[in-house]
């Protein structure tokens, strides 16, 4: 069965520090992988996505993620966080055959301390 695990429910970092949000997935086949961000009282917005090719993908606002197939992971990284990055981050996996369904992790709430 498809699933996504985000082991850290909450992460707090200081502004300017580096960031890694963890994501592991379980999927039978080759997945498509996504990171979404949700700001308060808003819907989810796409940060980045991985379909194939270079396992390191760049997203908006300086975010990147690396697909490591051997580890079934797709961790999100940022070199230097800003207070405005405070939000909830969701990792998601979808199928690459037939119609597409998306499975989300439980989310990681990021707080950036100024």
Partner 1 sequence: GPKVLQIPSHQIIDMGQMVTLNCDPVSNHLYFYWYKQILGQQMEFLVNFYNGKVMEKSKLFKDQFSVERPDGSYFTLKIQPTALEDSAVYFCASTFWGTTGQLYFGEGSKLTVL
- The first and second tokens of residue 102, run together, are 């998306």
The CB density around residue 72, as the number of other CB atoms within 10 Å, is 15
102 part of the interface to partner 1, by CB under 8 A: yes
44 part of the interface to partner 1, by CB under 8 A: yes
- Restricted to residues 48-87, the positions that interact with partner 1 (CB under 8 A) are 49, 51
34 part of the interface to partner 1, by CB under 8 A: yes
Cβ atoms of 110 and 83 within 8 Å: the answer is: no
32 part of the interface to partner 1, by CB under 8 A: yes
100 part of the interface to partner 1, by CB under 8 A: yes
What is the C-alpha separation between 112 and 17, in angstroms, rounded?
9
What is the C-alpha separation between 26 and 64, in angstroms, rounded?
21
Residue that has been written with the tokens 């917005």 in this structure: 45
Query: 3-class SS at 60?
Result: helix
Taking CB under 8 A as the criterion, the residue among 1, 41, 53, 114 binding partner 1 is: 41
Q: How far is the CB of 77 from partner 1 (least distance, A)?
A: 20
Stretch that binds partner 1, among 19-27, 30-38, 64-72, 76-84 (CB under 8 A): 30-38
- Binding interface with partner 1 (CB under 8 A): 9, 32, 34, 36, 38, 40-46, 49, 51, 88, 90, 92, 95-104, 106-107, 109
């Amino acid at each position: 069965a498809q699933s996504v695990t985000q082991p850290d429910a909450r992460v707090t970092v200081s502004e300017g520090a580096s960031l890694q949000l963890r994501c592991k997935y379980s999927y039978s086949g080759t997945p498509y992988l996504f990171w979404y961000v949700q700001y308060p009282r808003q819907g989810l917005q796409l940060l980045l996505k991985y379909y194939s090719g270079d396992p390191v993908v760049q997203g908006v606002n300086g975010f990147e993620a690396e697909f490591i197939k051997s580890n079934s992971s797709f961790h999100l990284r940022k070199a230097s966080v800003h207070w405005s990055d405070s939000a909830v981050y969701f990792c998601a996996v979808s199928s690459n055959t037939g119609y597409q369904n998306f499975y989300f992790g439980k989310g990681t709430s990021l707080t950036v301390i100024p």
